[in-house]
Amino acid sequence: MKKINLNNKNDTDIKQLILETTLMLEKEALVIWASNCVEHVLPFFEEKYQNDNRPRRALEVAQAWLKGEKSVDEVREAAFESHAAAREVEDDKACAVARAAGHAAATVHAVGHAVHAASYAAKVDPNERLWQYEKLLKMI
């Protein structure tokens, strides 16, 4: 893969590079990558909502699916629960994290959710997009 100079790329450019690069990966790799994107911002949720483990649980259930320990239906249910958490919180960053976790888990069902997980995680911190892309490149 050709090395791309990211210094002159804006968020939209990097988002497009992410989208194109995800097309090169299998579902399992995308579940891992999307989960990593969420784990990177999960503290924003957990610090504010310490008694709500639904976003973390969505990631854990997706990881269990990777090991063959959970069904797609079980992962989808955990994803729905994380989205429910997003609807219940009042903090915008925490909401984005919960949505990101829901989409990361939903990647088990449909790979297109991986880029949505990354996009929601990027709403937490503008520097996330570059980190996500660099992490993705390491998986190829």
**Residue 51, both tokens:** 């008694």
Residues shown for the chain: 140
- Domain count of the chain? 1
Whether residue 136 contacts residue 22, with contact meaning beta carbons closer than 8 Å, is answered with: yes
Q: 83 Cβ partners below 8 Å, 6+ apart?
A: 98, 99, 102
Residue 7 falls within a domain, yes or no?
Answer: no
In a domain, 15, yes or no: no
- In this predicted model, which residue has the larger pLDDT, 18 or 3? 18
- Is residue 50 in a domain? yes
- Residue 6 belongs to some domain of the structure: no
Q: For residue 53, tell me if it sits in a domain.
A: yes
Residue 57 belongs to some domain of the structure: yes
pTM as predicted = 0.91
Nearest to 104 by CA among 15, 33, 19, 22: 33
pLDDT at residue 14 in the model: 86
Is residue 2 included in any domain, yes or no?
no
What single letter denotes the amino acid at residue 72?
V
Domain of 55 in residue numbering reads as 28-138
The mean per-residue pLDDT over the stretch 79-101 comes to 98
pLDDT at position 8 is 59
Q: What is the mean pLDDT of residues 80-93?
A: 98
Is pLDDT at 52 greater than 60 in this prediction? Answer: yes
At residue 50, does pLDDT exceed 90?
Answer: yes
